[in-house]
Chain A
Amino acid sequence: MRAETDIGPPDLDPNHYWPLLRYLDKAGAAIAPLSEALDGRDRLIPLYHAMVLTRTFDQKAVSLQRTGRLGTYASSLGQEAVSVGVGASMNKDDVLLPAFRDHGAMLWRGVTMVEILQYWSGDERGCDFAGPREDFPVAIPVASQAPHTVGVAMAFQLRRQKRVAVCILGDGATSKGDFYEAINACGVWSLPAVFVINNNQWAISEPTRMQTAAPTLAQKAVAAGIAGSRADGNDVVAVRDAVSRAVEEARAGRPQVVEALTYRLGDHTTADDARRYRDDAEVSARWQEEPILRLRNYLVGRGWWTKADEEALIRDIRAQVDAAVEAYLAMPPQEPAAMFDYLYETLPPSLAEQRRLAEDGDG
């Protein structure tokens, strides 16, 4: 086990200090015994459902974009275990501060598919979540949600609430000062905050080795005086275990960094073509590690999942996604005045004239 107080020599071995937590191997066989808290049909099948839903939704979103019915979209293909695992590790009244590729966590927490589609179609109403009212909308400027996490966690601490602020960031985000400033401040104030690094190994065209010489991203927590850990981000059992423990530690005033090591199987967004900078062979190899098949193999191996279950699930999820798409496409567009109506609580008189011009179609 990692010794937090024993930082070791400069040539420290990351695998010793930040071992990669893993329960299921690539083929879905348990390499370590799953505790009662992690195992079981009732615990794992909802995670499986959520990951399949996330992927099906993602594929539909990409196809909507390709056919001109959605704007630029960031697929989470291959990273469903990170996103769903984070969502499943939080309490309902915790607050999520996501990056832009965390559809699985958002869906788990009750953001609807319609809202996500609306946002990526270019409609602000998609950030007015009917479900988790205090969750932050996606952060587009990379790592900019990390300082917000400090403020949300401080609000919980000031109110003596046992709630946790959970921030998800990418590997590229750890190169930014925002990330360090945030984890550093959380350390100073012992804030109830968790920073989950979705290390999908590519920040658009830059692999992790171009972001940092640090062998792990989890070890960046050391400089902030807080705990860091690593989990196999394609093993939802490991993600759930690592993040759940981190969330409970944070709830007790010990902020945490968790690096979930996964792989971006798709393009950065629908506006990207990863073949310009990444070998197909690398991607094909990574398909052997993807998280959904891994969990399905485990469930099948335990006798908890059958072909009929799978077919029924696919049918059910397709129907859900199709219904969401239908509802999304039927949403009436916003009126031009909406640009003005949420700028301030009360529109200043000096803007009323512009609002009138916009309403008159003086675009």
Chain B
Amino acid sequence: MAEITLVEAVAMAQARAMQDDPSVLVLGEDVGKDGGVFRATEGLLARFGPERVRDTPLAEGLIAGMSVGLAAQGFRPVAEIQFMGFVYPAVDQIVNHASRLRNRTRGRLSCPMVLRMPMGTGIKAPEHHSESMEAMFAHMPGLRVVIPSSPSKAYGLLLAAIRDPDPVIFLEPTRLYRAVKEEVEDDGEAAELDRCFVLREGTDITLVTWGAMTRETLAAADALALDGIHAEVIDVATIKPLDEETILASVGKTGRCVIVHEAALTGGFGGEIAARLADKGLLSLTAPVRRVAGWDTVMPLPRMEDMYLPSVARILRAARETVNYQ
């Protein structure tokens, strides 16, 4: 079993899905010979040919819209949007068609497509390449929104997303693409969608996060452990539909919660989790729920991106204040 990066796991999952199911197609800008600008489709063209691995014209609305047409016809398109900052022309197709085709035809047509894209900051990329807009997709009924946090989760969750009968927005944290290597077996085993993963068990405080922020959050949990504070760390993974049971059960145990995300604070998905805790977990709380998030600013250009990204120190400060709350 080889140690691979997250981006290699993404390519491996697509290859596996294409091998197992002839209806799986890969399409997007530069996904063919170039193997994708991040190499997330590396090797697929050589293995599966230009009919199933299709370089498209530079048109995101087309990429999403043609995926809707292919999916309605029974194919399983896995489409790449090159960066999240360029997804907006495709949003019309996602919100007006992909997410509602099954519903508006009362099940006659459906849309088993995956729209993959890199998300988030941390690689010093140019303007428009670093935003985290997962909450925008989470607000759209009929979608699944999935964010892996490691190579093995990327492999398992992407396989599950491709096999899912409904549209999935699959957001790949750019910062994690090559940050770590992990042993991932190409066994075709999908991970479970619609559920949170408990990355670390603890009794004193629940830290809820997803995607790349799992790294800083786990680092914060390590630091807290040195002080004898046992943090439970939850990787939400599928933010829509939300597995609130796992979060409520954890906070029921710890009585404290800090939510960490990279996206801007206001309207971020942390607000939804905090609201669910207020609605269904209030009596188990012994401290207010805190959110550590990106600032409500325009995403800065790369020279200031480190000042935008929630740091381990910010997470630690919020966690300590929460634990010490009287």
Contact = CB atoms under 8 A, between A and B. Distances in A.
B323 to A, nearest CB: 29
A344 interface: yes
Contact of A147 (B68, B104, B109): B68
A196 interface: no
A148 B66 contact: yes
A345 B165 contact: yes
B106 interface: yes
Contact of A345 (B74, B93, B166): B166
Interface in A134-149: 134, 136-137, 139-141, 144, 146-149
A182 B70 CA distance: 14
A27 interface: no
B65 A155 contact: no
B200 to A, nearest CB: 24
A76 to B, nearest CB: 21
Nearest to A340: B103
Contact of A350 (B73, B77, B106, B244): B244
A151 B66 contact: yes
A188 B89 CA distance: 20
A344 B102 contact: yes
Interface string B61-105: 110111111111111010000000000010011001100001111
Contact of A181 (B57, B67, B72): B57
Contact of A125 (B59, B74, B106, B165): B106
Contact of B65 (A124, A129, A146, A188): A146
A257 B286 CA distance: 66
B43 interface: no
A243 interface: no
A92 interface: no
Interface string A320-350: 0000000000000000001000111100111
B103 A124 contact: yes
Contact of A124 (B105, B166, B245): B105
B192 interface: no
Contact of A344 (B74, B92, B142, B243): B142
Interface centre among A134, A147, A155 (most CB of B within 10 A): A147
Contacts of B241: 348-351
Given A342-B106, A343-B102, A141 B75 contact: no
B68 A128 contact: no
A67 B248 CA distance: 51
A129 B108 contact: yes
A182 B65 CA distance: 9
26 contacts: A124-B104, A129-B108, A141-B92, A144-B92, A144-B93, A144-B97, A148-B66, A148-B69, A150-B69, A153-B69, A154-B66, A154-B69, A155-B74, A177-B89, A181-B65, A182-B62, A182-B65, A184-B62, A185-B56, A185-B62, A342-B105, A345-B165, A350-B194, A350-B241, A350-B243, A350-B244
B51 interface: yes
A177 B242 CA distance: 35
Interface of A is mostly: helix
B103 A150 contact: no
Interface in A120-137: 124-125, 127-129, 133-134, 136-137
Contacts of B77: 151
A162 B242 CA distance: 43
A260 to B, nearest CB: 23
B141 interface: yes
A152 interface: yes
Nearest to B75: A155
Given A125-B106, A128-B106, A134-B73, A151 B97 contact: no
Nearest to A140: B96
**Chain A: interface residue count, which band?**
35 or more
Contacts of B70: 151-152, 154-155
A289 interface: no
Interface of A: 97, 124-125, 127-129, 133-134, 136-137, 139-141, 144, 146-156, 158, 165, 177-178, 181-182, 184-185, 188, 338, 342-345, 348-351
Contacts of B106: 124-125, 127-128, 338, 342
Contacts of B66: 147-148, 150-151, 154, 185
B113 to A, nearest CB: 9
B130 interface: no
B107 interface: yes
A158 B141 contact: no
Contact of B107 (A128, A148, A185): A128
B69 A152 contact: yes
A128 B102 CA distance: 10
B174 to A, nearest CB: 26
B109 A136 contact: yes
B106 to A, nearest CB: 4
A127 B105 contact: yes
B110 interface: yes
Contacts of A144: 65, 92-93, 96-97
A95 B77 CA distance: 19
B100 to A, nearest CB: 8
Interface string B37-54: 000000000000001000
B276 to A, nearest CB: 9
B105 A177 contact: no
B65 A147 contact: yes
Nearest to A129: B108
Nearest to A191: B66
A188 B69 contact: no
